[in-house]
Structure 1
Amino acid sequence: MTTSEPARSPQWARVARGMIRGLLPNALWFWGVCLILGVIAIITLDRYTDGPAFSIISLIRYGLIWYPFSSALVIVAVMLTVHVAAGQTRRSFLIATMITWAGYALANGLIMAAAVAVEARVYAGNGWQHLSTSATALPELVVGLGHYPLIAFAGGISGLLVGLSYHRVGAWATIALPLTCAPAILATALDSAPIALVVIAVSIVLAGIACFGIGRRIPVRTMNAMGVA
């Protein structure tokens, strides 16, 4: 009697799970530090001034862009060569990174939107000015649900594209930084207006296409047992 082996999950799914396990502790540290410092800043302004005159938590948006950017750079630098040297495909690496960063951006964006909404309630209860003149957190929450995940993904995909570019052409990739960093730069510079979100979304799509175009045939240097490439 023979028993069939259980079907293995796709290669990209196994790689994505490993990436998520590695990113989770970093995300917990990021949000722990940012939210604690944000609360301390609000309490300090309330204690020594007439109260905050702007949203403190919304300033985390810059970290929401550039922290995923740096994390994506590290993942490409550390994992790509090992991934290919282990006999796995570049395609599975690219799919795993895209799915991982989409989920990572969505989770971080939802946390950010919720944190800003809670802050808006606190501000309204104390008579402080927040992102808008509304007395409720609904406008900030509605806008944030579309805005924050998008800018977080823009930062992550820019980091992936920059990392892949340096893997492909080395130092020459520095010349292309204004293009490879474009989604993150646009996410930093633009606001949450609908046209701005469309521009950021288009830049993300173009960056994703570029990642697959560069990454699917990217040269990867490996070393033999003697340490020779």
Structure 2
Amino acid sequence: MQRYFIPTEQFGQHSVVLAGDDAYHIQRVMRAEPGTKLICSNGIDREAVVAITHMTKQTVEAEIVEELPMEAEPSVHVWIAQSLPKADKMELVIQKGTEIGAARFIPFTSERTVVQYDHKKEIKRLERWRKIAKEAAEQAHRNRIPELSSPSSWKELLRLGSQVDLALLCYEKQHTLSFRALLEQALAGEKGGEPYTILIAIGPEGGFTPAEAAEAEQAGYRPVSLGRRILRTETAAMVALSAIMYAAGEMGGGN
């Protein structure tokens, strides 16, 4: 059943209204008709099976058939801080990271970041990234769309480390601290009530500099290695996220 995220104001007590790209997709791509059932979520606290009742060129109206529980989100919140990579690699990180279960994406710039970020294009780029996250969350049947922050500076990223339960820095020269052991220790003492939050920082194509690694450690980040093999920056993000999800018991293993 096709899933769509819609704004809270379009989610009524007994019916929903889909508009814009969603309405276009339902009518032109899905070729839906009155009676077709969909899943709609406001990405916050409501999700339901709905049946289409009426369509115009701009909107699709549907009645709520069944309220659904929101149980698809991971028990651990993972923030992926990704130093801006070249080409469209950030789009890949957002798409696949959303499918795996990331809660937030934080693009940032560091010393070896090759991409020259253009603030004039920030709004357009963020709109595209958020659209990719929305579509990936719908495809993966997520209950929520991951948050996507505006690009941060290196100093801003260091300060974010104090806002989470565990801040990690992927550093290829770190071979003494076990990523697995660190995750097991952290998640074993997971706090009750609020989800445990982990920030994992991934460097650019050239990796972090020794000076950055030292700065991050001073700021409370724990440097970790993802193994003896050198991974591409977009691969490192997915490997780290998958490892955390496995350790948290989100992939049939772990706790």
When the two structures are superposed, what TM-score results if normalisation uses the length of structure 2? 0.24
Where relative contact order (Cα < 8 A, 6+ residues apart) is larger, the structure is 1
Structure (1/2) with the larger helix percentage: 1
When the two structures are superposed, what TM-score results if normalisation uses the length of structure 1? 0.26
